[in-house]
Amino acid sequence: MKNMLNMVIKPVWAHCDLMCGVYDPAQARIEAQSVLAIMQKYQESDDEVFRQRCIIIKEKRAQLAKEHLWVLWTDYFKPEHIEKWPELHDLFWRATKQAGETKKSVDPAEGEKLLELIGEIEEIFNQTK
């Protein structure tokens, strides 16, 4: 518990819609991991109902990854961050477009590309703290 409460006492403050949000790229990453896992399971299965459910659930998980990325971009990052990392806008644009790609495809390589882009965002995010 200690570690966790420490983290709470110094949370990742940011100017969110309430001016007090807790941001964490982990939310997008968890959904993207789920997308990748679904793609892998899809490839390994030949059960028609199972594969249809993969498409349905992947659609939702990819959408959630997209939404978590959008919130991070608009609500967490501030003008001084954009000045320091001018590539941020384009990085988020490509990452959210890639989340869209993972809806269209069942190729795990597309899921891995999404995770790599989220990883690049995560690296910048960690430097802002």
Shortest spacing between CB 55 and a second copy, in angstroms: 5
What Cα–Cα distance (Å) separates residue 60 from each residue in 35, 56, 63, 97? Answer: 9, 7, 5, 15
Beta-strand runs (E) in 55-118: none
Q: What is the Cα–Cα distance from 22 to 54, expressed in whole angstroms?
A: 31
115 and 32 Cβ atoms separated by less than 8 Å: yes
Q: Within 10-49, which residues bind a second copy (CB under 8 A)?
A: 11, 13, 16-22, 24, 26-27, 29-30, 33-34, 36-38, 40-41, 49
Q: Under the rule (CB under 8 A), what is the footprint of a second copy?
A: 1, 4-5, 7-8, 11, 13, 16-22, 24, 26-27, 29-30, 33-34, 36-38, 40-41, 49-50, 52-57, 59, 66-67, 70, 73-75, 82, 89-90, 93, 96-97, 100, 103-106, 112, 115-116, 119-120, 122-123
